[in-house]
Amino acid sequence: MSQLFKFYAPLKVRFNETDLQGHVNFGCYLTYFDVGATEYLDAIGYGYERLLADGVDLLYAEAHCNYHSPLKWPEAIRVYTRLAPPGRRSLRYEFALRAESDGREVATGHVVAITAERGTWAKREVPAGLRAAIAAYEGPADVSAA
């Protein structure tokens, strides 16, 4: 699956992310997704600071994670991240976590974020600059897949 992703953020499992069973606690995977999402925006040239400067903020509306293989401390992982073509007011981040040591798929998932007016949370459309940055990085959307 990671062959479909152009971007990844390297991370290392921290001891405090593990539980009594000796593997990463399930909730930490969403934190890994969040790191991937934030660093992805920087990589495409439309960092979170720019989003805020445009008066727009992101609110997470949905999160999903499929767990495939446990992670243990101090494993190194790659958080593969991409953005699907944006909706009018929403972004869908897609993720694949892989262990660096053996390339095994650890987890896959997605997060849906909606765009809102910074401070008031009023509805806002995805900024044109962000749409352009996503298209430039990911390439044109494949309309035949719709």
Which two structure tokens, joined as six digits, stand for 95? Answer: 């993720």
Q: How high is the pLDDT of residue 97?
A: 98
* Domains present along the chain, CATH in parentheses: 2-140 (3.10.129.10)
The CA distance from 139 to 66, in Å, is 27
pLDDT for 41? 98
Provide the CA 29 distance to its chain's centre, in angstroms.
Answer: 11
pTM, two decimals, is 0.91
DSSP string of 8-54? EEEEE--GGGB-TTSSB-TTHHHHHHHHHHHHHHHHTT--HHHHHHT
> Which mean pLDDT values do the consecutive 10-residue runs of the chain (146 residues) have?
82 96 95 98 96 96 97 97 97 98 97 96 96 93 48
* Tokens 């430039």 belong to residue: 136
Residues 61 and 52: their CA atoms lie apart, in Å, by 18
Residue 139: the pLDDT is: 87
**What's residue 3's pLDDT?**
59
Pick from 64, 65, 63, 57: nearest CA to 114: 57
The answer to whether 92 and 81 are in contact (CB under 8 A) is no
